[in-house]
């Protein structure tokens, strides 16, 4: 059981709610395209969904650093460094995405 | 009818296919969170969806510039400038998103 | 002579002023690092310079679309499309940068 | 003395070298604009400088997480959380920049 307690476990419901809203927004985007709505309006809505995804990323990263990274660092220097390296990979992907 | 021919009309099917795949990916993300998968793996997948949305944006923008902007510029100087201003707003939102 | 009239020619002074300010900011960054200022403060300043560079990019792109692209489109359909393709390459690099 | 040992102290020379190169690149950009070089070429070069600044940010963040955050977490739970909050602010600014 213990293994499945991740950083975001404490606010799993909030993350799920955000992801469900994003799923609804991508369905709305399909409707806009099917109804031949104006390109610029579709683009504005795509930017809104991208922003919502970025907010999910930052939230997950916040939980990860607050829980997994700090816990690992408190357990041992090397464990902390390993978790930091992993987090840095995710941050680099986030900056480029 | 003519009014509903936008830049992306020519590849509406491709845009819709990409958006449906993104919708599926956001459902996959919800499953990952429900199954308590590791934060970093969820983050990697969120970055992949964000990248896919950026690709949709660039595709829509490409169609918009190739069709709407060039057509408007050919119809008149002022029409071209207005469409460019509108496109610039979308590009600025895209860069910030 | 005519060949050297680009989109930004009309506000070359403004672009140069911004770039000189950015050069000064990067010198300020070196001073911060030499004086061992706190990492987070250095990072905040790097983000400010990056933002200033993005503003220069959007300004250059604005001039380019308003002048080069609209002019080319008015000269001919194919000329317009070629300039649009070139601009799209720059926009994609901007979004990824 | 101890106070001035930050995350990046260990590779201050590398950070300074990168910043000096970026300063040179912004001077090069001014030359390009003064010589009326083509907008798209200027834009490509601005994107290169922005990318170089992002690399500096990620390097500083890496040092900060590896040193300041892990050290703080090992000193105490609360100290670790405070450093994490500070780092998250910097990451959010980086993602938006």
Closest by Cβ to D57, choosing from C26, C47, C97: C47
Chain centre to alpha carbon of residue C14: 12
Contact between residue B92 and residue C58 where contact means Cβ atoms under 8 Å apart? yes
What would the pLDDT profile of C53-73 be if each residue is shown by its tens digit? Answer: 999 999 999 999 999 999 999
Find, in chain B, the residue whose alpha carbon is nearest to that of A22: B26
Residue C4 pLDDT more than 60?
Answer: no
Q: How confident is the model at residue D2 (pLDDT cuts 50, 70, 90)?
A: very low
A69 touches chain D (CB under 8 A): yes
Question: Can you give the pLDDT at residue A5?
Answer: 64
Residue C2 pLDDT more than 60?
Answer: no
B52 is a domain residue: yes
- Smallest Cα distance from A96 to chain B, Å: 9
C2 is a domain residue: no
B63 is a domain residue: yes
User: Domain of B74: which CATH number?
Assistant: 1.20.58.1000
D59 is a domain residue: yes
CA separation for the pair B58, B14 (Å, rounded): 13
Contact between residue A48 and residue A22 where contact means Cβ atoms under 8 Å apart? no
Q: Quick one: average pLDDT of C21-45?
A: 96
Query: Among residues 2-31 of chain A, which lie with CB inside 8 Å of chain D?
Result: none
What would the pLDDT profile of B62-71 be if each residue is shown by its tens digit? Answer: 999 999 999 9
Mean predicted lDDT score pLDDT of chain A: 91
- Is C33 in Cβ contact with D19 (below 8 Å)? yes
D15 is a domain residue: yes
Question: Domain limits at C55?
Answer: 10-96
Closest by Cβ to B27, choosing from A23, A54, A90: A23
Question: Can you give the pLDDT at residue A91?
Answer: 93
CA angle C29, D34, C65 (to 5 degrees): 95
Q: Which two tokens stand for residue C81?
A: 């499309």
Count up the domains in chain A and report the number. 1
> Which residues does chain B have within 8 Å of residue A57's beta carbon, measured at their own beta carbons?
43, 46-47, 50
A83 is a domain residue: yes
Contact between residue C42 and residue C29 where contact means Cβ atoms under 8 Å apart? yes
What would the pLDDT profile of D31-89 be if each residue is shown by its tens digit? Answer: 999 999 999 999 999 999 999 999 999 999 999 999 999 999 999 999 999 999 999 99
C76 is a domain residue: yes
- Is D90 in Cβ contact with C43 (below 8 Å)? yes
CA separation for the pair D97, C47 (Å, rounded): 6
D40 is a domain residue: yes
Dmax (CA) of chain D: 57
Residue D3 pLDDT more than 90?
Answer: no
Q: How confident is the model at residue A95 (pLDDT cuts 50, 70, 90)?
A: confident
What would the pLDDT profile of B21-74 be if each residue is shown by its tens digit? Answer: 999 999 999 999 999 999 999 999 999 999 999 999 999 999 999 999 999 999
Half-sphere exposure (CA, 13 Å, Cβ side) for A74?
14
């Amino acid at each position: 059981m213990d293994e499945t307690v991740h950083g975001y476990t404490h606010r799993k419901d909030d993350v799920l709610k955000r992801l469900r809203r994003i799923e609804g927004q991508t369905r709305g985007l399909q409707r806009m395209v099917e109804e031949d709505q104006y390109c610029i309006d579709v683009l504005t809505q795509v930017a809104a969904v991208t922003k919502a995804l970025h907010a999910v990323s930052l939230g997950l990263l916040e939980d990860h650093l607050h829980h997994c990274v700090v816990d690992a660092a408190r357990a041992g220097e090397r464990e902390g460094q390993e978790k930091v390296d992993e987090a840095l990979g995710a941050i680099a992907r986030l900056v480029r995405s």
